[in-house]
Structure 1
Amino acid sequence: MQAHPIGGITRRPAWLAEAGATLALAWPLALTNLSQHALALTDTVILGWLSTEALAAGTLAANLYWAVMAAPLGTAFAAGPMLAQARGAGRLPGGAGRGWVRQMRRGARSALWAALALLLPSMLLLWFAEPVLLALGQQPHLAALAGTYLRAMMWGLPSFCGFIVLRGFLAAMERPAPALWVAGGGILLNGALCWLLVFGALSWPGLGILGAGIASALANAAMLGGLLGLMARDRVLGRFRLLGRFWRPDLAKLAEVVRLGLPISGSMLLEIGVFSAAAIAMGWFGAVAVAAHAIALQTAGMTFMIPLGIGQAATARVGLFAGAAEPRAAARAGWVAIGLGAGFMLATALLLVVASAPIARGFLGAGDAEAAAAAALGATLLTIAGIFQLADGVQAVAAGALRGLKDTRVPMLLAALGYWGLGMPVGLLLAWQAGFGPVGLWIGLAAGLGCVALLMLRRWRGLSGGAAAAGA
């Protein structure tokens, strides 16, 4: 598209203007994601300095934690597309979008209700994490340490889900900065608390892995309280009164949250589950393999936070235009976001391939007898992670764009096909039958991500092209 001069001023092409708007929304969301991931990364690094066994136990615990959390988090994430389309409907002419403020308030409250309801069984399962991990064939001492960690960490889950819902509200309002500021403070608080509670200071005795769980729970509670405080003080955000009459559930909105959120939960569970299953399988190879898996997963997870933020921006931008009945603008918003995510992940792919060895060594203490072996295997897995960066970024952003259209059921089925129909079977086959061990598992994960990325792109092309043609 060419730029058109209007009144002597050159107007930017629509795609370039959309790129600017997407980046303006995406970078605070991405940094917020990085901040939240840094909370887990802080625990990983500190536990790695404590011992390789503590790192392995923390990794097993984290994988079970995220698998169990998929259901409540999916409903919390459903707030994003609901609220974005409600705000977009406010742009419709003739009063068609009247009452969008009330619709956003009802949607946010309902997402909170659904997430809290699904938290109860999740927390019950985490309380019995040790016997669950033993049933999955994990070593008894690692299962015991992981259970201790989770029994402390799980008390921060309600606060975490509340933070996710509020962050979706802020993204729909295109005001993501408060969540970023709070998440940044959460990193500092968690880091200080984790170090103090794990290792102790002066006459304060260290609590080991239990201290890391307590620190995470306290940091999550502080982040929710801080975000609620900032929003209440803001003249625009405060008028929504999101928690006003919170005790009165809205059954119609709850049904919409469930309809959108459960497939999101399913997609998350499928993706988290395949990496969690890989961690469980790593446990069969021993603590060194689990620690190496943790190094690669935490590093790849850190880079993934950027396209995840771009995908969240795509949900908001696509949802805004879809709610305002502007299908061409919605299609443009999605494609621009996908391009931005792909460009970033190409750069990180090069970084991970080139710098895999020093990155892996930074996770482990020099005095640990098993550190050298874990670092060497971790570097190999990081190289594989670098290879699948592009696919991981594209599938994340495409999924976010599809959520903006409230399309969540089919993407869940596509994730099932890619991760479990291809990725995990190939990984297990390469690990045991072909004799590649942990490396084979990660090659399978890379194949699954590539398949999902292609399927998501095809789905987005079909829906966005059809919507744009219908609106022409």
Structure 2
Amino acid sequence: MQIGHAASSATPLAAATLGVLTFNVAGNMILTAPLSAMDTIAPQNFGAGNAVGVGLTALRAVITAPAFLLPTVPLWIFAREILTALGQPPDVAALAQTNMLMLLPSLAPWLVFEVSRKFVYAQDVQWPPLPAAVIGLATHPVWLEMTRGFGPSGPMLAPLFTFSVMAAVLVALIRWRVPRAAAAWPRAEGRAALFGDRKAWRHFLATSAASLFSLTEWLFWEAVCFRVGALGTIPLSAYSVGYSLEPCLFMLAIGLSTALTNAVGGHLGAGRVAAARRTTAIGVGVGIATVCGYSLFAFLAGGSLRRLFSRDAEVLAAAAEMWPSWSMFLLISGTFALLLGLAKGLGQQRQMAVFVVCVLWPVGCPLVWLATCPARVWQMLAFTYMLLSVAMGLCAACTDWHKLSATAIAHSQGSGGAASCAPAHTPTRCEGGLAAVDGAKASGATLVGLDLEDSRTPAPIPLPLPVAVAAV
């Protein structure tokens, strides 16, 4: 928004979108693969009573993520040439590369925050990331103001400072306010065994690799941006309005999705299949209601939302034309996010990768390439993601969850020891928090130290009340 209002032409806004999108593909997408593996493995470890396995999984994510990033170095060095060769305007491509390089340092604190967040979520502790995010985001306008003098790419430095604050606050909260969660971090003897557990490493790396293939969905969005960019600067700027706003609302669905991942994964790790199914029904029901609510709000408030990003009459007119199609996509993408969370909880990254490769790319790319304006692009995206969501839903419904639970328990036994590794003290109820349906999980205390016979008795699952606030 700051770039769009401060610019005297549409070029900086177009370059900001292109740069951020390329940064997401060359940076965030790569680091997210091991984080996605952690989403699946850590809650299952905790559900099986192996709390130290959560900490070992976090360490594997921290080690694997930078290693995955190394092969992308040429993309950062030759981004301008690559973007220009793919049909982007040279001035937009040059500024987009500058934006990418300015964003690059923010990956380090972002990784620390994400690993720490998933570390506590997997242990049924939801509240620490919320104050950390609030404090960090409260400082963001300050960083934006301080970096304004660095030119049109100056605001790209702000995330470095914002994520640094968020990571520092979250780590401090875990260390001094949630000692039982911090106890899951492996001590010297646990870290010494980190590289010796080859079975756990194979499982983690295989899950990470499958996640990376499914995350080529992000690369698909780069292809979409290239197509819109080839239509001209005004269409790309109008598309940028929807593309910039969509993630802000999509985060509500992602919050619910994260909760669903941890809830289902924890139940499967404990052998409670019936509880996992009930949690899924609650999470998906609450999630769809939330998605419908924010999609309707975005559609009705379109005029005000569009003016937040630009004052250019041509850009606003093109954005208004695409708004109904974009609003429909919001509804479908939110449903996709919920099913993505379920797939992670079930450990279905491989199936998700197959769907992305066999549905998203061969169907979505040709349809988007046939589109001649941003409105048509969003229509094609909505249709493609509807097909993808149907495939994911059918896969989850037709899978043997008892078999998935047995697999999760077997993998959890090898990472960091057995249930005896769990902390001595665990609270008897959920502690409230950031991701909505996490409150619907049975207490982590009932998951620690149970054998398979005990785990066959489902625990009660309270329906979360502060859903909207928790999801944000």
TM-score (norm. length: structure 1)? 0.80
The 2-side partners of 1:140 and 1:247 are apart by 51
**2:333 alignment counterpart:** 392
Match of 2:181 among 237, 240, 249: 237
Q: What is the Cα deviation at residue 242 of structure 1?
A: 5.5
8 Å CA contact 2:238–2:374 kept in 1: the answer is no
Which residue identity lines up with residue 323 of structure 2 in the other structure? L
8 Å CA contact 1:292–1:374 kept in 2: the answer is yes
8 Å CA contact 2:43–2:265 kept in 1: the answer is yes
Q: After superposition, where does 1:258-277 map in structure 2 within 5 Å? A: 258-270=205-217, 272-277=218-223
Q: What is the Cα deviation at residue 467 of structure 1?
A: 5.6
Describe the superposition over 1:134-161 as per-residue Cα deviations: whole angstroms up to 9, x where unpaired: 2222111111111111112101112212
Q: After superposition, where does 1:97-246 map in structure 2 within 5 Å? A: 100-198=50-148, 206-234=149-177, 235-241=179-185
Q: What is the Cα deviation at residue 62 of structure 1?
A: 0.9
The 1-side partners of 2:362 and 2:183 are apart by 47
**2:257 alignment counterpart:** 311
The 2-side partners of 1:398 and 1:357 are apart by 31
Do structure 1's residue 47 and structure 2's residue 25 form an aligned pair? Answer: no
Cα distance, 1:106–1:266 mapped onto 2, change above 3 Å: same
Describe the superposition over 1:354-383 as per-residue Cα deviations: whole angstroms up to 9, x where unpaired: 22222112211x4xxxx1111121223332
Further displaced range: 252-261 or 46-55: 252-261
**2:15 alignment counterpart:** 57
Cα distance, 1:417–1:153 mapped onto 2, change above 3 Å: same
Do structure 1's residue 361 and structure 2's residue 307 form an aligned pair? Answer: yes
The 1-side partners of 2:31 and 2:273 are apart by 31
The 2-side partners of 1:178 and 1:395 are apart by 27
The 2-side partners of 1:103 and 1:303 are apart by 33
Cα distance, 1:128–1:188 mapped onto 2, change above 3 Å: farther
Further displaced range: 183-192 or 51-60: 183-192
Describe the superposition over 1:32-58 as per-residue Cα deviations: whole angstroms up to 9, x where unpaired: xxxxxxxxxxxxx11111212211111
Which residue identity lines up with residue 291 of structure 2 in the other structure? M
Which residue identity lines up with residue 47 of structure 1 in the other structure? I
**1:453 alignment counterpart:** 389
The 1-side partners of 2:94 and 2:35 are apart by 30
Instruction: Give 3-state SS (helix, strand or coil) of 1:227's partner.
Output: helix
The 1-side partners of 2:73 and 2:172 are apart by 26
**1:20 alignment counterpart:** none
**1:428 alignment counterpart:** 369
8 Å CA contact 2:103–2:157 kept in 1: the answer is yes
Describe the superposition over 1:261-317 as per-residue Cα deviations: whole angstroms up to 9, x where unpaired: 2222222222x2222211111111222111111111122221111111111111101
Q: What is the Cα deviation at residue 192 of structure 1?
A: 1.4
8 Å CA contact 2:55–2:119 kept in 1: the answer is no
Which residue identity lines up with residue 219 of structure 1 in the other structure? T
Match of 2:359 among 402, 409, 418: 418
The 2-side partners of 1:377 and 1:247 are apart by 58
The 1-side partners of 2:162 and 2:191 are apart by 24
**2:266 alignment counterpart:** 320
Instruction: Give 3-state SS (helix, strand or coil) of 1:240's partner.
Output: coil
The 2-side partners of 1:243 and 1:132 are apart by 45
**1:283 alignment counterpart:** 229
Tell me the matched-pair count.
401
**1:66 alignment counterpart:** 24
TM-score (norm. length: structure 2)? 0.80
Further displaced range: 247-256 or 301-310: 247-256
8 Å CA contact 2:254–2:337 kept in 1: the answer is yes
Alignment identity in percent? Answer: 23
Bigger relative contact order, structure 1 or 2 (CA pairs below 8 A, ≥6 apart):
2
8 Å CA contact 2:20–2:99 kept in 1: the answer is no
**1:19 alignment counterpart:** none
The 1-side partners of 2:85 and 2:165 are apart by 35
Further displaced range: 327-336 or 450-459: 327-336
The 2-side partners of 1:468 and 1:151 are apart by 42
Cα distance, 1:353–1:422 mapped onto 2, change above 3 Å: same
Instruction: Give 3-state SS (helix, strand or coil) of 1:363's partner.
Output: coil
Describe the superposition over 1:53-108 as per-residue Cα deviations: whole angstroms up to 9, x where unpaired: 21111100111111123122111121122110111111xxxxxxxxx122112111
Match of 2:320 among 365, 374, 379: 379
8 Å CA contact 1:72–1:118 kept in 2: the answer is yes
Taking only aligned residues, the RMSD between alpha carbons, in angstroms, comes to: 2.3
Q: What is the Cα deviation at residue 169 of structure 1?
A: 1.3
8 Å CA contact 1:76–1:114 kept in 2: the answer is no
The 2-side partners of 1:469 and 1:178 are apart by 28
Q: What is the Cα deviation at residue 466 of structure 1?
A: 6.6
**2:461 alignment counterpart:** none
The 2-side partners of 1:382 and 1:309 are apart by 24
Cα distance, 1:465–1:73 mapped onto 2, change above 3 Å: closer
The 1-side partners of 2:100 and 2:40 are apart by 31
Instruction: Give 3-state SS (helix, strand or coil) of 1:442's partner.
Output: helix
**2:446 alignment counterpart:** none
Do structure 1's residue 80 and structure 2's residue 39 form an aligned pair? Answer: yes
Structure 2: unaligned runs, 5 residues or longer = 407-455, 458-472
